[in-house]
Structure 1
Amino acid sequence: MNDSSNPPKRPRGRPRKLVEPKAPRYPALAFSEERRLLDQLRKQSAASHPGHDATVTVSDLATLAEQPKPGVPASIAMPTGRRLRFELDDSQRAVAAGYVAERAELGITGLAPNSRRGLASDWLNWLAFCMHTGATVLPTEFIDLKRFIDMLVAGERKKATIEHHVWAITEVNRRYGCPDPMASELARDYWRDLLRDRLHGEQKQATGLGLDQVEQMVAMLRDPDLDLPARHAKPEDQAAVVEAQRRRALRDAALINAAYDLAMRSAELVAIRWDRIFRDPDGSGAYRVGKSKTDQLGQGQLRYLRPETMADLEAWQAVAGPSPFAFHRVLEHNADHQPIQSSDATERLIWPTLTTREIGVIYKRAARLIGIESPTFSGHSTRVGATQDLIESGGTTEEAQQMGGWRDGRMVARYAERPLAKRAGQGRFGKLAKHRNS
């Protein structure tokens, strides 16, 4: 019975938008459920976390599979009758144990953090496949690896993804002193057939943001009269919301200009520090790039910053707060001016940076201001655009390599495929025309 004296309360805030769920990027693999279970087991284990490499993950998950540790919920226990099966002898186990112990004692990782995470992720897929099919995890047999690869191909995974999985599996076999499952002539013939008949090396490329687009985007962000969308807030918080949007526009203008000038990878861009930016008397500047994907030794490289970029960096620095990192989240009431507590057990304070995913979001948001919509903007869009601009203006592949910090010209050829093809075609037909008129 309804009580008219106490009407139901209306929900506060804006009504939620009904968003249709996105279709999955790839079809689900047959072992997806096993992968989910193993991922949960890994997170529950104190000895195995995302920072560990695949060798540690193997040992820990093998133990969990046979004798689940206390505290692991029954809801993520191994399915009945499914176990990770190993056929390692004592000498092979000793090889892996010695390898892990020596690396820990000497403080050696061997791989960059992203490479270790990729290795562990690919290895978990192999473990899930073995659990699903009953295949032996280690030593890995070629016939089982072939079935795994065929399953990835049927699941529309790309050539680069499959190559990375094969590398991960052979790498862990090597660490355990097991033979390489892809070393046989039969395996090599299979791989050649696969590349010829079923796989291709084409990859989607991020949409490039050239200097013309960058200048238009930055001009809009600099406009003090730009009407930026702000969230609904209480009247007393409205001023803080508007101020945060103004600071965010200054940050985005500086970030987009710096990203184009430095032609950086998104992971390098979010790690930019104020103390590595240098100003020259003419108003231009430079940034000293430290360790990178292609400079693991950290020998460094100076890269040029335009006067316009330096001006935007200085405008942003004036309101950015005390963080040593140039680019970070902008929070209301200047909450981003304070470090946060680390999530580990050290109780240290850290200054968080933007994530690489947020770089692509910033580009898309700024591009919409000038009427550009593209689903393929990513954190590398300015890197692609800078490479294309250089080649179109007559620059050489070697100059592009130096600009982007590439070891060779392979990525330059990929990013600037269209202008390079145009240059080659114009040169070819120019020579033909000259020959005809001679």
Structure 2
Amino acid sequence: MAEFPPENRALVPHPARLGEVVTVLGPGEADLPCRTGGRARDRIAELTALVLDLAGEGVAIDRLAYRKSLEARSPATIKALANDLACYARFCHRVRGIGLPAGEGRVVAYLEDCEARGLSVATVSRRLASLAVIHGLLGVTPPTGAPVVRDALRGFRRRRGVRQRQAGPLRLGEGIGIEAARGFTLTALLDACPGTVAGLRDAALLSLGYDAGLRVSELVAIDCGHISRLDDGAGVLDVVRSKTDQEGRGGEAWLSPETMRRIALWREAGGIASGPLFRRIATTRTRAREAVPPTRLDRLAWHARVDPVRLEGAPARPASVTYRIGEHALTPAAVRMIIKRTAHRAVDEGLVALFGPERDAAIAALSTHSLRVGLTQDLFASGEDAGPIAQALRWTSTTTALRYGRALTPAANATARMLRNLRG
């Protein structure tokens, strides 16, 4: 492992095991299979195949308009369209008939089928919105805007309620804001990251994701050139593109000096000079082996297996670990796995006081959005208003910020601030 400067050593909680030989093969020194190539093209092909399968014989598709419409959408949107249309296609195959364009009655029947299968209001609303987009691609007026469909959706929302399940927040830690954060915190997860190459990467990813309040698509898209260092040790991240900025106007996010130190540790350990900041790491471990003394042939039993190692002996071999750093960025699924895996490690090391079903539920609630939710709640807890929070986290309105901070808003609103002093 590389020798780190004294000011950074406190950020490496678990050094390499005594006597273990550590080898790091940087980007380009080892081949790692790329799992992301062609995925966006596959999604477009999947979506096109579904549209053609569901379309009636008399439906004419404007190929140019269809292609340009898809090019204007992000890969995540195309993935959502393909998944939602696949759900509608399964319904159509069960009930038979022409799937596209859909009549008002068919859309209402699909909505009722989704409700019967226990889908959430948010999921059904998104699938109807996707169905409207598909009709737009075909140049057909979407049936989802018909009064009977709107009334059916309104009744579904009334029966189920519209409150969405929120990702479990990863707030900074104890003593932050009005009430100390309980359960999993960013501090606990950072303490659970080992001082291995993979642990340094995970700690840098978690720290940066919290500071900047990033969506997972923004987090995996970070390039080394997107980060600039300030004179006081802090940094600025250039958020090139986001969910609410598909045209790439850009935005900036401030990074703490601690996050900048963690990024420097990861880049030094992984040999990351340029390109994607957070990359896949393949780890290979070998156990230690004691020396094998040579054995004379006449000392072997008549039925013993003869091999060169037994006859010639073998030297002792220390335990070793080899890290191979990839050249491509992590996927969103890999980020989700890193968060879950680190949470399990935090529990195993006694850094989180959760047990049994409560622990399992808390881990299940963690997602790639937990860092963004946690930062939002900490900002509300520190007394910030929804407007500045929405601006800092690059939302176009305060609605989402208020929803994320809903659990803390009653304790931070104007009534709470007044009555805390008058009726404490």
Q: TM-score, normalised by structure 1?
A: 0.67
Pairs within 5 Å for 1:244-255: 246-255=196-205
Instruction: Show the counterpart of 2:317.
Output: none
Secondary structure of the structure 2 residue equivalent to 1:352 = strand
Instruction: Show the counterpart of 2:417.
Output: 427
Instruction: Show the counterpart of 1:199.
Output: 160
Secondary structure of the structure 2 residue equivalent to 1:332 = strand
Instruction: Show the counterpart of 1:377.
Output: 366
CA shift, 1:119, in A, is 1.0
CA shift, 1:183, in A, is 3.5
Secondary structure of the structure 2 residue equivalent to 1:292 = coil
Q: Partner letter of residue 378 of structure 2? A: D
CA shift, 1:431, in A, is 8.3
Instruction: Show the counterpart of 2:279.
Output: 328
Secondary structure of the structure 1 residue equivalent to 2:115 = helix
Secondary structure of the structure 2 residue equivalent to 1:251 = helix
Retained in 2: the 8 A contact 1:88–1:138? no
Secondary structure of the structure 1 residue equivalent to 2:329 = coil
Q: Partner letter of residue 168 of structure 1? A: S
Q: Partner letter of residue 221 of structure 1? A: C
Alpha-carbon deviations, 1:300-348, whole Å to 9, x = none? 112111111111111110022346111112223656345xxxxxxxxxx
Picking from 337, 340, 352, the partner of 1:361 is 337
Retained in 2: the 8 A contact 1:288–1:300? yes
Q: Is 1:311 equivalent to 2:261 in the alignment?
A: yes
In 1: Cα distance, 2:402 partner to 2:44 partner: 34
Picking from 123, 136, 141, the partner of 1:161 is 123
Instruction: Show the counterpart of 2:64.
Output: 101
1:313–1:55 Cα change, 3 Å: same
1:330–1:187 Cα change, 3 Å: closer
CA shift, 1:355, in A, is 1.9
Pairs within 5 Å for 1:5-404: 49-52=42-45, 54-55=47-48, 57-59=50-52, 62=53, 87-89=56-58, 92-93=59-60, 96=61, 98=62, 100-102=63-65, 104=67, 109-196=71-158, 198-212=159-173, 213-221=185-193, 246-322=196-272, 324-332=275-283, 336-337=324-325, 351-367=327-343, 368=346, 369=349, 370-371=351-352, 373=359, 374=362, 375-404=364-393
Instruction: Show the counterpart of 2:29.
Output: none
Instruction: Show the counterpart of 1:45.
Output: none
Alpha-carbon deviations, 1:75-102, whole Å to 9, x = none? xxxxxxxxx6x5453xx41xx2x2x224
Secondary structure of the structure 1 residue equivalent to 2:236 = strand
CA shift, 1:128, in A, is 2.0
Secondary structure of the structure 2 residue equivalent to 1:157 = coil
Retained in 1: the 8 A contact 2:241–2:247? yes
Q: TM-score, normalised by structure 2?
A: 0.69
1:142–1:413 Cα change, 3 Å: same
Retained in 1: the 8 A contact 2:65–2:137? no
CA shift, 1:401, in A, is 0.9
Q: Partner letter of residue 269 of structure 1? A: L
CA shift, 1:177, in A, is 3.5
CA shift, 1:290, in A, is 0.5
Number of matched residues?
A: 321
1:190–1:354 Cα change, 3 Å: same
CA shift, 1:357, in A, is 2.4
Say what the alpha-carbon RMSD is for the aligned residues: 2.6
Retained in 1: the 8 A contact 2:104–2:143? yes
In 2: Cα distance, 1:220 partner to 1:186 partner: 53
In 2: Cα distance, 1:53 partner to 1:158 partner: 25
In 2: Cα distance, 1:216 partner to 1:192 partner: 42
Retained in 2: the 8 A contact 1:52–1:120? no
Greater shift, 145-154 or 202-211, is seen at: 202-211
Q: Partner letter of residue 333 of structure 2? A: R
1:183–1:314 Cα change, 3 Å: closer
CA shift, 1:185, in A, is 3.0
In 2: Cα distance, 1:259 partner to 1:426 partner: 31
Unaligned runs of 5+ in 2: 1-40, 174-184, 285-321
Q: Partner letter of residue 282 of structure 2? A: L
Retained in 1: the 8 A contact 2:66–2:138? no
In 2: Cα distance, 1:332 partner to 1:189 partner: 55
Instruction: Show the counterpart of 1:22.
Output: none
Secondary structure of the structure 2 residue equivalent to 1:379 = coil
Secondary structure of the structure 1 residue equivalent to 2:142 = coil
Q: Partner letter of residue 329 of structure 1? A: R
Picking from 400, 407, 411, the partner of 1:418 is 407
CA shift, 1:408, in A, is 0.8
Q: Partner letter of residue 367 of structure 2? A: S
CA shift, 1:130, in A, is 1.5
Retained in 2: the 8 A contact 1:211–1:389? yes
CA shift, 1:158, in A, is 0.8
In 1: Cα distance, 2:150 partner to 2:418 partner: 39
CA shift, 1:208, in A, is 1.1
1:389–1:152 Cα change, 3 Å: same
Secondary structure of the structure 2 residue equivalent to 1:331 = strand
Q: Partner letter of residue 190 of structure 2? A: V
Q: Partner letter of residue 275 of structure 2? A: P
In 1: Cα distance, 2:139 partner to 2:254 partner: 48
CA shift, 1:193, in A, is 2.4
